[in-house]
Amino acid sequence: MSRVVVVGNGMVGQRFVETLRARDVDGRWQITVLAEENRPAYDRVGLSAFFSGATPEELSLVPEGFYDHEGDVCLKLGAQVTEVDRDRKVVRTVDGEYPYDALVLATGSYSFVPPVPGHDLPGTFVYRTIDDLVALRDYAAGRGVGAVVGGGLLGLEAANALRLLGLQTHIVEFAPRLMPQQLDESGAAMLKVQVEALGLTVHTATKTERLEPGADGAVKSMVFGDGQELGVDLVVFAAGVRPRDELARKAGLTVGERGGIAVDETCRTTDADVYAIGECALMIDRVYGLVQPGYAMAEVVAQQLLDQPATFKGADLSTKLKLLGIDVAVFGDAQGELDVVYADPAYGVYAKLALTDDAQTLLGGILVGDASAYATLRASIGGPIPGKLADFLGSGQVEGTLPGTAQVCSCNAVTKNDVFEAISDGCKDVPGIKACTKAGTTCGSCVPLLKSLLAEAGVQQDKAICEHFAFSRQELFDLIRVRGITTFSQLVAEHGQGRGCDLCKPTVASILASLGNGHVLEGEQATLQDTNDHFLANLQRNGTYSVVPRIPGGEITPDKLIVIGEVARDYGLYTKITGGQRIDLLGARVDQLPAIWRRLVDAGFESGHAYGKALRTVKSCVGTTWCRYGVQDSVGLAIALEERYRGLRAPHKIKCAVSGCARECAEARSKDFGVIATENGWNLFLGGNGGFRPRHADLFATDLDTATLVRYIDRFLMFYIRTADRLQRTAAWLESLDGGLDYLREVIVDDSLGLCADLDAAMDRHVGSYVDEWRATLEDPDKLRRFVSFVNAPDAPDPSIEFVTERGQRVPAQHRQPVVVAGTRLPVREVDP
Ligand SMILES: Cc1cc2nc3c(=O)[nH]c(=O)nc-3n(C[C@H](O)[C@H](O)[C@H](O)COP(=O)(O)OP(=O)(O)OC[C@H]3O[C@@H](n4cnc5c(N)ncnc54)[C@H](O)[C@@H]3O)c2cc1C
Ligand code: SF4
């Protein structure tokens, strides 16, 4: 048996070991992996998930039991290789020597820290390993302001981490725009607008001159090239990486002028028995900072060792990321002879496709704000665009098919043909294709495309909510209810896999809340919520929040009106009467929220849930109370309904209205449920909505007495909550119900499924257990703690939030700033005839 020693157990080192083990069916190689870090390989690409609660174990890339076969493959942790003795063919660690027949260097990179004075002060960090993130998280606790040096991919990821840690966050970038290596001027401008709308401050064209310490010796401020100073509590350097080639240098192997272990296209260094792969390798004049080229190199070396000729064929440098929740994708060569550009500042979308001059071949492109067309477009590089350009640039909704040779997963070099082969071998879903081909297992951006290829191949797909659960929302709801599950971790442990994602976490949070599993910020539930629910307030464009107290039926006493006015005045909030009979108080900083709620709660207000997927308002006209046409008390009923359903969590927001006569002043037919008074009682309408695709509600029942009306609404809401898909409004849900309104009538009125007693009981439980979320938060120091990270400087105005005055009130400053999203000239270049 020959011996291969692998130095480094990072993403690429681990991929190499797995590939060699899978291919080496005759057991020719014994593998020893020497790893400097104290934990086995983990998902560095997904590192930031650590701040959303992922544990190091969950980030691990090493299959369970993988290194348990002492003999043919072994891993030594905490074993830094200090020397390679090429003459004796051994490597040394502090613990001993390891002989090799072949040596694979997979030592990765280190974070580059610009040598500015103060770069090594306490309170400065890099963003590369789990240990870096642990140190950053621990230091950030209780601190207020953080800055990231570097506005590239990594810098934006680090900025998001600071934001999740509750810090006011600044991004300092030397270049004149964000992501200078990937984006053009217009794409970067759009990204900047969106990043700033989240409340982060972006300083482009800004040089960090030095870091200054405070009295405790830790970093206290940053001084920029123009002399300006920014007070900070911590600084993260994310200004690029450098290959770790120190071992190779010491061993006399050739390294590049600007670093990197020189290898040829077979990944051999200048010593034929030593290979270098991944980020430490200088592959024909280029160091790749992405994982896919590293995986390709791992494959090449595994094949070489088994005497199968293989060479590195170049790399696809496309990337798609969700940076701070904003889609950004760059693929192929975004500098074509013909550029097609689409920009929609209202929706924050920018798209550019680069084509050959005959517009027949796609060369590459940039997508900011909406990257839904990314997977299809990337797979189409080098060929014609499979559909109309306008479709790709606008909505991302496309029709058309890709050629079989199109690369579907660039991380793992999987083509459409490979996927179809897997499907014909029996893979019937995305997890199956992942297991067979490895497509979708690294950055995950091709998963939507895998789904559409399954559909194209005629495979009936399940309605799995995401890769972590093989269930639809409705099935998850039933599982949670029937099994009495109360936490996400219990659900994922018993019925799912992995650590969850942006799709399943809020969905499960909403189901748990629908089932009355305690306060939304209780224990683990808190980490599942999206931003609005996280702070029980609506995040607005400049990073401030709006506070919307409940005003059932729109009825409010003068005293309460005065309290709202006083709160708004004292906190300088913009006030607006909304379309749903509420008063919206806009512009509150997150640290001000508890104090604002305190005043409102003391005056008898509670949360209007304008932030949640929950009941919003039951709008009403003035009915018999005032109106000469009114035939029923629409205000009284609206108040009763709103108090009954307040806090009810649902797949989407729920809006309702009650009109006191057929004149319909409350516009009840445009709501999820609408009630219109008749001489004899109430008419009930179901499944309406306003918005982008308005729909009038359908008449469900006529002349109902109040008790029957309320029971029907109870059942309608509970049945909807249990059976609708995530983010499906009642209108779409009703349209998707087999049998439509008649079927719904059978279920709710005739009890055809025998469900009504259960639905009634569920609603009674909800009504009986309602607790105001604001009040409960104020009463619980643990929950309040999430709002205190900003309180350490309660009187200092947040420098990232600027207001201007408009019509006598404060509005976000950037609201007024012009935004260049398509450059100052049309980006069409002339070509030689
Ligand atoms: C936050 C973050 C986000 C990223 N996002 C993306 C992304 O979206 N897409 C993408 O393609 N790439 C991304 N990357 C880059 C990607 O993680 C790297 O390309 C990939 O990890 C490189 O793998 P590697 O094995 O070459 O190096 P690494 O994963 O860095 O592993 C190298 C290992 O070698 C060890 N080592 C070094 N020297 C020695 C020694 N002398 N002895 C023993 N062990 C040693 C190191 O401790 C390390 O564990 C991201 C990186 C980070 C940090
Ligand atoms: S809907 Fe009828 S009762 Fe209500 S305000 Fe209009 S006219 Fe009056």
Ligand 2 atom with the shortest distance to the CA of 630: 3
What is the structure's pLDDT at 394?
Answer: 56
**Euclidean distance between CA atoms 351 and 152, whole angstroms:** 19
Q: Please report which confidence band the pLDDT of residue 748 belongs to, taking 50, 70 and 90 as the band edges.
A: very high
Whole-number pLDDT of residue 589: 83
665 lines ligand 2 (CB under 6 A): yes
Round to whole Å and give the CA distance between 365 and 332.
7
To the nearest 10°, report the CA torsion of 229, 230, 235, 240: -60
279 lines ligand 1 (CB under 6 A): yes
Distance 347 CA to ligand 2 centre (A): 37
Nearest CA to ligand 1 atom 13: 45
How far is it, in rounded angstroms, from Cα 361 to Cα 383?
5
More confident residue, 125 or 446: 125
Nearest to 232 by CA among 178, 173, 179, 162: 162
pLDDT in tens, 798-816: 556 678 888 888 887 754 4
The pLDDT of residue 382 = 84
Amino acid (1-letter code) at residue 459 = V
Q: Is 642 in the pocket of ligand 1 (CB under 6 A)?
A: no
Find out whether the beta carbon of 15 lies less than 6 Å from any atom of ligand 1. Answer: no
Choosing from 290, 312, 323 the residue with most ligand 1 atoms within 8 A of its CB, the one to mutate for a pocket test is 290
Q: Do 204 and 178 touch, CB atoms closer than 8 A?
A: yes
- State which ligand 1 atom lies nearest to the alpha carbon of 321: 8
**Ligand 1 pocket residue status of 81, Cβ below 6 Å:** yes
Ligand nearest to the CA of 7: 1
Give the single-character DSSP code of 462. Answer: P
Atom of ligand 1 nearest to the CA of 82: 41
Please state the atom number of ligand 2 nearest to the C-alpha of residue 627. 8
Residue nearest to atom 5 of ligand 2 (CA): 621
Is the minimum distance from the CB of 105 to ligand 1 under 6 angstroms?
no
Counting ligands in written order, the one closest to the CA of 554 is 2
Query: Is the shortest distance between the CB of 294 and ligand 1 below 6 Å?
Result: yes
> pTM of the full predicted structure?
0.61
Three-state DSSP state, 328:
strand
- Please check the confidence at residue 154 and state whether its pLDDT lies above 50: yes
Determine the atom of ligand 1 nearest the C-alpha atom of 281: 26
- Checking if the pLDDT of 322 tops 90, the result is no
Which ligand has the shortest distance to the CA of 619? 2
Q: Which residues pair with 124 in a beta bridge?
A: 235
* Ligand 1 in reach of 246 Cβ (< 6 A): no
Q: Whose CA is nearest to atom 4 of ligand 1?
A: 45
- Report pLDDT for 396: 47
Q: Is the CB of 615 under 6 A from ligand 2?
A: no
Instruction: Kindly report the average pLDDT of the chain as a whole number.
Output: 87
Show the tokens assigned to 450. 């895998």
Rounded CA gap, 370 and 351, in Å? 8
Of ligand 1's listed atoms, the one at least distance from the Cα of 47 is: 1
Is residue 630 lining ligand 2, measured as CB closer than 6 Å?
A: yes
Q: What is the mean pLDDT of residues 678-704?
A: 90
Q: 3-state SS of the chain: helix, strand, coil percent to 5?
A: 35, 25, 45
- Among 624, 633, 637, 665, say which to mutate for ligand 2: greatest number of ligand atoms within 8 Å of CB: 665
Interhelix angle 740-748/706-723, rounded to 10 degrees, is 110
Q: Which residues contact 493 (CB under 8 A, 6 or more apart)?
A: none
C-beta of 13 in contact with ligand 1 (< 6 A): yes
Higher pLDDT, 802 or 82: 82
Cβ–ligand 2 contact at 663 (below 6 Å): yes
Task: Write the DSSP assignment of 577-617 as a string of letters.
Answer: E-TTS-EEEEEE-GGGHHHHHHHHHHTT--B--TTSSBEEE
Find out whether the beta carbon of 608 lies less than 6 Å from any atom of ligand 1: no
Measured CA to CA, the distance from residue 563 to residue 531 in angstroms comes to 27
What residue's CA is closest to ligand 2, atom 4?
660
How far apart (Å, rounded) are the C-alpha atoms in residues 188 and 176? 9
Confidence band (pLDDT; 50, 70, 90) for 824?
very low
Residue-wise DSSP of 378-444: HHTTTS--SS-HHHHHTT--------TTSEEETTTTEEHHHHHHHHHTT--SHHHHHHHH-TTSSS-
Mean pLDDT of 353-361: 85
> Nearest to residue 387, comparing CAs of 377, 448, 116?
377
Question: CA nearest 647: which of 769, 560, 486, 476?
Answer: 769
CA triple 765-770-776, angle to 5 deg: 145
Residue 47 Cβ inside 6 Å of ligand 1? The answer reads: yes
Residues 161-200: tens digit of each pLDDT: 998 888 999 999 999 999 988 898 989 998 998 888 888 9
Q: In the structure, what pLDDT confidence band is assigned to residue 832 with cuts at 50, 70 and 90?
A: very low
Contact 606 CB / ligand 1 (< 6 Å):
no
Are the C-beta atoms of residues 352 and 187 closer than 8 Å to each other? Answer: yes
Q: What is the number of the ligand 2 atom nearest to the C-alpha of 661?
A: 2
Ligand 1 center from residue 279 Cα (angstroms):
7
Specify the range with the lowest mean pLDDT, choosing from 8-22, 51-65, 383-397. 383-397
What the block records as the tokens of 276 is 């270098």
Cα(44) to centroid(ligand 1), Å: 6
Q: Is the CB of 612 under 6 A from ligand 1?
A: no
Q: Could you say which ligand is closest to the alpha carbon of residue 84?
A: 1
The answer to whether 789 and 535 are in contact (CB under 8 A) is no
Element (H, E) at 450: helix 447-456
Q: Among residues of the chain, what percentage have pLDDT more than 70? A: 91
Q: Give the CB-side neighbour count of residue 371, counting CA atoms within 13 A.
A: 25
Q: Is 155 in the pocket of ligand 1 (CB under 6 A)?
A: no
Distance, in Å, from the CA atom of 493 to the CA atom of 501, rounded to the nearest integer, reads: 14
Q: Given pLDDT bands bounded at 50, 70 and 90, which one contains residue 435?
A: confident
In a 13 Å sphere around the CA of 726, the CA atoms on its Cβ side amount to 20
Residue 398 pLDDT: 47
Instruction: Determine if ligand 1 sits within 6 Å of the CB of residue 287.
Output: no
Phi, psi of 286 (to 5 degrees): -140, 135
Please say whether the beta carbons of 496 and 467 come within 8 A.
no
By residue count, the chain amounts to: 833
Q: Cα separation of 510 and 171, whole Å? A: 33
> CB within 8 A of 629, min separation 6: which ones?
660, 661, 663
Q: What is the pLDDT of residues 485-498, one digit of tens each?
A: 888 888 988 888 88
Atom 53 of ligand 1, nearest CA residue: 128
